[in-house]
């Protein structure tokens, strides 16, 4: 395998989609969602199951594949044993997967969250983009509203461009780039009514600074995607929590965020990082873009 193809490989176009499957009641919906993505993006598809291969499982998977309308000429099935997280990540690496599709519960209890489900563990470690589907549906449905992080990070330009690529192929017309501003000092200042003019000036300065950073990216994006309405929004609050709450309040269909900058351990999840707020309570389907910088 030529692993040089992975180095600095862009996050799009998406040529190969992988789906991690378990034999749960949501399998039909997950395969249907993944197949629609495959059709929209014109990608090849790999189905990955970590566990024993049995005649019963093969029969069940065959039925689900047919129910989802998957063309088996564009689909390959891989059965492997091993640790689910590490095995799935290794298969993605070996097959140069651009997008890994996973089913994920919207909210897990505290014990499960800190230990980490398979979907959330993969989201923290993956070297490919990850698409978390919270409520997989068999029937076709439109993606209308997409929320994208505008955090000050070198990865963000790639995340925004990937979100617009996805929006174009899914037919979404409404994309909002959201920048979170977390400034405890500003919050304390604004709470003091005697310093309202000062607080207003600080808030205005921060807003202008953030707008001047993101606006050129959006202006350039308008040229490439003239049919997509791209908006800017600044929200106050902790990174991850603020954008997740905003996406939920707007009934977004998809939230797009950067991949974590580091491998997160148990302490990182207790002392919450931005991505952990999103993973703890998924507001909708979530795309985590890995830009392979």
DSSP, residue by residue, 68-128 = TT--GGGEEEEEE-S-HHHHHHHHHHHTT-SEEEEE--SB--HHHHHH--HHHHHHHH-SS
Other C-beta atoms within 10 Å of 20: how many? 26
Rounded distance between C-alpha atoms, residue 84 and residue 246, angstroms: 32
Rounded distance between C-alpha atoms, residue 114 and residue 124, angstroms: 13
The topology under which CATH files domain 1-140 is Rossmann fold (3.40.50)
Rounded distance between C-alpha atoms, residue 163 and residue 247, angstroms: 15
Residue stretches of the chain with pLDDT short of 50? 1, 110-116, 264-272
- With H, G, I as helix, E, B as strand and everything else as coil, classify residue 133: strand
Task: Please tell me if the domain spanning 1-140 has the same topology as the one spanning 142-284.
Answer: yes
pTM of the entire predicted model: 0.86
Question: What is the pLDDT of the chain when averaged over all its residues?
Answer: 84
Local structure of residue 272 (DSSP, 8 states): T
Question: What are the structural domain ranges in the chain?
Answer: 1-140, 142-284
Rounded distance between C-alpha atoms, residue 2 and residue 5, angstroms: 6
Residue 274: the pLDDT is 75
Residue 110: the pLDDT is 44
* Tens digit of each residue's pLDDT (9 = 90 or more) over 6-53: 677 889 999 999 999 989 889 999 999 999 999 999 999 999 999 999
Question: What's the CATH superfamily of 142-284?
Answer: HUPs (3.40.50.620)
């Amino acid at each position: 395998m030529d692993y040089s193809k992975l180095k600095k490989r862009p996050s799009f176009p998406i040529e190969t989609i992988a789906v991690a499957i378990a034999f749960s009641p949501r399998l039909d919906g997950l395969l249907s969602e993944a197949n629609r993505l495959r059709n929209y993006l014109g990608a090849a598809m790999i189905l990955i199951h970590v566990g024993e291969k049995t005649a019963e499982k093969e029969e069940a998977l065959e039925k689900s594949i047919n129910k989802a309308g998957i063309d088996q000429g564009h689909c390959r099935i891989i059965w492997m044993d091993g640790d689910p997280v590490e095995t799935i990540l290794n298969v993605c690496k070996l097959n140069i997967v651009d997008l890994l599709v996973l089913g994920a519960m919207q909210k897990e209890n505290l014990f499960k969250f800190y230990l980490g489900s398979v979907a959330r563990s993969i989201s923290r470690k993956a070297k490919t983009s990850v698409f978390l589907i919270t409520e997989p549906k068999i029937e076709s449905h439109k993606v209308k509203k997409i929320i994208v992080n505008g955090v000050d990070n070198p990865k963000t330009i790639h995340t925004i461009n990937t979100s617009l690529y996805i929006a174009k192929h899914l037919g979404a017309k409404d994309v909002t780039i959201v920048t979170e501003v977390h400034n405890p000092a500003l919050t304390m200042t604004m709470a003091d009514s005697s310093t309202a003019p000062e607080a207003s000036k600080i808030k205005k300065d921060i807003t202008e600074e953030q707008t001047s950073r993101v606006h050129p990216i959006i202006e350039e994006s308008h040229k490439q995607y003239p049919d997509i309405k791209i908006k800017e929004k600044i929200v106050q609050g902790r990174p991850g929590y603020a954008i997740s709450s905003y996406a939920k309040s707007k009934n977004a269909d998809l939230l797009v965020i950067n991949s974590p900058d580091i491998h997160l351990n148990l302490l990182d999840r207790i002392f919450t990082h931005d991505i952990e707020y999103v993973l703890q309570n998924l507001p909708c389907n979530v795309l985590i873009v890995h830009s392979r910088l």
